[in-house]
Chains A and B, each alone.
Chain A
Amino acid sequence: MSSELRYTANTQLEHLHARYTGTGHADLTKYEWLTHQHRDTLASIVGHPPLISYLAIADGEAIGRVKFEMTERMLQPCGPPPPKDE
């Protein structure tokens, strides 16, 4: 939180943002940000039936299976978190 804005109305906005998953902050790592992107992508596909049937046809899988795999994939879409530096 930038210090000069700490006492302004915008802090409320920042707090509000922090409450939601998928939002970021100045110290977000590449891995975290991309994980969110991937999850959003997967969620978006699962949430749009035409997209999911498109993928099902492309993969030659059942819609249900594709959906299941997408959902499973959300757990760690970009693999395990990289080791911390320190």
Chain B
Amino acid sequence: MSSPKSPRLVDSFTAPKEVLREFEELAEEENYDPFAETASKRQIASRQSDYHARRFNRQAIESADAFKAAEEGTEVEGGYKEAMRLQLLEKEEQRVKRVIEDKEKQAREEGKEKMDLDKTPPREELREAAEELAAATGTKRKRRWDIAEPTDENIPLKAEEKGREWSAEALEGAVPKKRRSRWDATPADITVGETPKRSRWDQTPANQGAETPLMPIIMNAPGFMHEDKHNRYLTDEELDAILPSSGYSIVTPPPGYAPLVRPPKLSATPITEVGGFQIQESSDAAAAAAAAGLAPELPTEIPGVGSLAFFKAEDAQYFAKILKEEDETELSVDEMKERKIMRLLLKIKNGTPPVRKTALRQITDKAREFGAGPLFDKILPLLMERTLEDQERHLLVKVIDRVLYKLDDLVRPYVHKILVVIEPLLIDEDYYARVEGREIISNLSKAAGLAHMISTMRPDIDHADEYVRNTTARAFSVVASALGIPSLLPFLKAVCRSKKSWQARHTGIRIVQQIAIMMGCAVLPHLRNLVECIAHGLQDEQQKVRTMTALALAALAEASAPYGIESFDNVLKPLWVGIRLHRGKSLAAFLKAIGFILPLMDPEYVSYYIKEVTIILIREFQTSDEEMKKIVLKVVQQCAATEGVTPQYIKQDILPDFFKSFWVRRMALDRRNYRQVVETTVELAQKAGVAEIVGRIVNDLKDEAEPYRKMVMETITKVVASLGASDIDERLEVRLVDGIIYAFQEQTTEDQVMLDGFGTVVNALGIRVKPYLTQIVSTILWRLNNKSAKVRQQAADLTTRLAVVIKQCGEDQLLSKLGLVLFEQLGEEYPDTLGSIIAAEGAIANVVGMTQMNPPVKDLLPRMTPILRNRHEKVQEATINLIGRIADRGAEFVPAREWMRICFELLDLLKAHKKGIRRAAVNSFGYIAKSLGPQDVLQVLLTNLRVQERQSRVCSTVAIAIVAETCGPFTCIPAILNEYRTAELNVRTGCLKALTFVFEYVGPQSAYYADSVVTMLEDALTDRDLVHRQTASVIVKHLALGVAGLGCEDSMLHLMNLVWPNCFETSPHVIGAVMDAIEAMRVTLGPGVLLSYVLQGLFHPARKVREVYWRIYNSLYLGAADSLVPFYPDLGELSEGQNVYDRHPLQMFI
């Protein structure tokens, strides 16, 4: 865009000066990393929503391996009960928090009201609030007391339960041992290793020690990275400065207090900390980046790891132990193991592909040796790192996957931890992340077993946090698909009927929904059970449960379509009653379920149900809720699509209200509504007919709002495209064409919709459009001269679409007029427009024919020749198509000299990037050669083999082959063979290449030419140059396949003998070509001949030889196993002892 002052348009422009200056300044700043911004976008956490970020709030617990405990008779800490207890605690805590918040809010609001009267809130009110708060905490204690842990009087009763695995621990939890609640637990009163059981209140972030290998993984561990001056602890000096010096005394810490061990704090210069480490001058990419001042200075070489692809500041914290050199002799075995794991992980996460590959193999092989504990304690925190990037996550997930496979049931204690880390992947926006997550969870459930999975995930089902429940439901659906729905059904039934909490029911039903979404039609065998499982949820007292049930039913119906209506019998009534009872969100869900069940129904019954639902639908037409609108439209669409509903019903009962509420300008403004309305209307049109729908909206083509006109146009386009225009009567036709011309002329934003609409409608009307053609063409002509390039382009595009119809109507006059005007426009300067104009000219030439074409072809073609030099792809493509067409149909109208000129221009097009252009150019050579005779064209192409550019040479060879195909191989092969005698390497390769294509194209005809190329192939196959032998092998392949069964076995056997020694080549392309040639020989010579070659080396003393021969044997065997039978050698004499190698059945005769 030029500024208003500038006198003329410049054809190239650059960025404004101030922007350039800004960049310069930035570049001058030291340590400026221009990629820092994109780096943060690569981080998964930084582009995710708050909802996704809730994963950092989760806490993973140890899941006890109940099976192991039973086997070994040992008690395992932290089992299902513990998990349930923790979970209840958490829920209670959330509830209390909510109560307090509500209270405060209420108090605030009341306070606000009273503010006007009295500034201080009355005393009794404060007291009241305090009391209530106390009461809340009181009840909380009580509840937890009787639910989570057995009360005192229960203890003696449970003596007989001692044998059971959880009871002993419960007892232990109940007796004097201090009950941990949020009030009395402080980080300080826990010493490391006292108990592995922890609530979230006593976690100390960085307490990693070798003595507690099974410490809980703290999911928000990286939080301390965000430590800055705003939330760090105050130092003693600062406290001294703040607090008065008198009246305070510094209390000594209580005995046994161990201060938190802080992790090595990260700073901008980790190098000083890791110590003893230098960046190697030779270290590759990172060093270069560092030299350029781009990358922050971080190590890329770690002792014992080698050079890495990158190293992030955050990594230092996880891998601190291996960053410095240590005396390995002082380390214990466990510490050594830990370091080994860390090194391997670092290699996998940050290494270059080969390094990564070997490390991954090592960690997999040694997984059982390392043990589940040390492995997951290192892997899982890495996955929860906030700055994790996609690639790193992918690699770490891959590690888990491999390790899981090896560890098998050893993984049990870590199931929950793994789930906490992997579950977020299930709701990731990236499809592949979701697939990876599913993969892991499915492997995990296979390793850990159903019972363990259920006991581990059960506590999360009624977790207080919706995020946790959501991800758990998804994880459960993966478990179901891995272990089979039937095995999970009893559990699902129980959960969906849970009396204890609605959250459990909600999650249970959501699991069913997720199963349906994930497994698709695979739910069919279990459909009845699944529906029964959730059916009662429709009458649940909790609105959320009802909504979820309806959504789950919708998912089930969608997954099982078009089968399984009988399974839904039970829910039909509640659903249809439900839509009368509900409002808002749950109504939307019910309608959605109905919408998906309707298409399953028998046509006889469906109309009754539709009538029932229509009343509600029509009422909801007026809704202002966007979500509801979407669902209503979808349901209307589904109703209209069912077989049982009659056109009459739609016309009478649905259409009037539908058009009143949805065909309004407002709907065109929102993209999603717009699409939905169009789709629904098109669906309604399938039943109601074109005339009905088009008749209702055609007047809106002249509406003053352009987006609305577009919506109308799009709908008409789709309706007419699918149903045709025969239904449209004369009056409607007039209005329609009038409206379309108006809409087309009035458009201000040039896009496809109007153009497509115009083209579709006019083509559908066909000959009926004749009376309007004059008007349309004059519009086009007028617009072709418009000053806006876009308008001109559109007019040309429209011509392209209308050309066929104009011809149909017999208006050749108009066509020739258009042709002339377009011809005059060929000087167009905007390439897009020029491309359209040429395409339009081509379309006219197409329908009119070369003889009638006006302007005559002999004028048109010379005008195209210079345009061929245009570098714009669209122009090139349109031009080459037009020229190809003329060469094909009307080459005789143009003098040979002109064609030769075009030939030379065409060579340039062989360099085009777009394949379509190259293909069109190559084909044009064929057409031209056909009309001119091959000699001249061939000469041009053969000369072109001498050019430098590979692509151009390759295309020339293809063109030669096409010429050979169109004019007969006998015209070309002698010339190619002659050209092969040139000393130049490129030319010779080109000739060989051309021959490969020739023989590929001519197929069986090659039988006539096989003998004439044998000598040349002899030469090529014995050449020192690899490429020669490779290309010659390809020729042999095509030749052999072409002549199979045509009696050329003698010369083929000769070629086979020349190809065979090449089977020891190692260069991938060469060996590929040679193997192909040998396979082709199998077809021509028969597998028996080949077998006799192969037998020579199958048991050769040299392994290298055996390997090659066995590979050939294998492809031979796979290609013709059965026909090899008669050719196997008789090896009866090798028989020894019990092993008789005679093939007796083959020795019988009558």
Contact = CB atoms under 8 A, between A and B. Distances in A.
B1111 A45 contact: no
B67 interface: no
Contacts of A33: 1098
Contacts of B1149: 58
B1106 A42 contact: no
Contact of A78 (B1071, B1111, B1141, B1150): B1141
A17 B1150 contact: no
B1124 A40 contact: yes
A82 to B, nearest CB: 6
Interface string B1098-1138: 11000110111011011101100110110010010010111
B176 interface: no
Given A28-B1110, A41-B1143, A82-B1139, A47 B1148 contact: no
A9 B1143 contact: no
Contacts of B1111: 10, 13-14, 17
B1145 interface: yes
Interface residues of B, number: 38
A80 interface: yes
Interface residues of A, number: 40
B16 interface: no
A2 B1111 CA distance: 11
Contacts of B1136: 82
B252 interface: no
Give the residue among B1098, B1125, B1136 with the most A Cβ atoms within 10 A. Answer: B1125
A63 interface: no
A55 B1139 contact: no
A58 B1072 contact: no
Contacts of B1117: 22-24
A50 interface: no
Contact of B1110 (A20, A26, A45): A26
B1143 A37 contact: yes
A30 B1114 contact: no
A21 to B, nearest CB: 10
Nearest to B1105: A26
A44 B1122 contact: yes
Contacts, number: 97
B133 interface: no
Contacts of B1146: 41
Interface in A1-49: 1-2, 4-5, 8-10, 13-14, 17, 20, 22-26, 28, 30-31, 33-34, 37-38, 40-45, 47
A24 B1072 contact: no
Given A31-B1139, A78-B1139, A23 B1071 contact: no
Given A41-B1143, A41-B1145, A45-B1145, A82 B1137 contact: yes
A9 B1069 CA distance: 9
Contact of A17 (B1104, B1114, B1143): B1114
A40 B1114 contact: no
Contacts of A79: 1137-1140
Interface string A61-86: 00000000010000000111010000
B1131 A34 contact: yes
B255 interface: no
Interface string B858-884: 000000000000000000000000000
A14 B1114 CA distance: 9
A4 B1066 CA distance: 8
A22 B1150 contact: no
Given A13-B1111, A70-B1145, A41 B1072 contact: no
B244 interface: no
Contacts of B1145: 41-42, 45, 55, 70
Nearest to B1099: A30
B1107 A2 contact: yes
B1068 interface: yes
Contact of B1068 (A9, A28, A42): A9
Contacts of B1098: 24, 33
B1068 A8 contact: yes
A24 B1112 CA distance: 10
B1120 to A, nearest CB: 11
Nearest to B1137: A82
A13 B1114 CA distance: 10
A22 B1148 contact: no
A10 B1072 contact: yes
A45 B782 CA distance: 80
Interface in B449-474: none
A55 B1148 contact: yes
B1138 A26 contact: no
Contacts of B1140: 78-79
B486 to A, nearest CB: 32
A35 to B, nearest CB: 9
A18 to B, nearest CB: 8
Interface string B1042-1078: 0000000000000000000000001010011001000
Contacts of B1115: 13, 17
Contacts of B1104: 2
A55 to B, nearest CB: 6
A41 B972 CA distance: 48
A58 to B, nearest CB: 4
A42 to B, nearest CB: 7
A42 B1144 CA distance: 10
A44 B1143 CA distance: 13
A54 B1140 CA distance: 23
A17 B272 CA distance: 55
Contacts of A41: 1125, 1128, 1143, 1145-1146
B1114 A24 contact: yes
Given A22-B1117, A24-B1113, A54 B1150 contact: yes
Nearest to A26: B1106
Contacts of B1128: 37, 40-41
Contact of B1121 (A22, A25, A34, A42): A22
B1110 A58 contact: no
B648 to A, nearest CB: 60
A65 to B, nearest CB: 14
Contacts of A30: 1099, 1134
B1110 A25 contact: yes
A34 B1133 CA distance: 12
Contacts of A37: 1125, 1128, 1143
A1 B1114 CA distance: 13
Contacts of A59: 1148
B81 to A, nearest CB: 49
Nearest to B1136: A82
Contact of A58 (B1075, B1138, B1139, B1148): B1148
A43 B1124 CA distance: 12
Contacts of A13: 1075, 1111, 1115
B1071 to A, nearest CB: 6
Contact of B1071 (A10, A17, A44, A55): A10
Contacts of B1124: 40
A26 B1114 contact: no
A15 to B, nearest CB: 11
A80 B1138 contact: yes
Contacts of A70: 1145
A5 B1136 CA distance: 37
Interface of A: 1-2, 4-5, 8-10, 13-14, 17, 20, 22-26, 28, 30-31, 33-34, 37-38, 40-45, 47, 54-55, 57-59, 70, 78-80, 82
Given A10-B1068, A26-B1110, A40-B1125, 9 more contacts: A8-B1071, A10-B1071, A17-B1115, A20-B1118, A40-B1122, A41-B1125, A45-B1145, A54-B1148, A82-B1139
9 contacts: A10-B1072, A10-B1111, A13-B1111, A23-B1117, A23-B1118, A41-B1145, A55-B1145, A59-B1148, A82-B1138
The 9 closest A-B CB pairs, nearest first, are A8-B1068, A79-B1138, A26-B1106, A17-B1114, A23-B1114, A58-B1148, A44-B1125, A79-B1139, A26-B1107
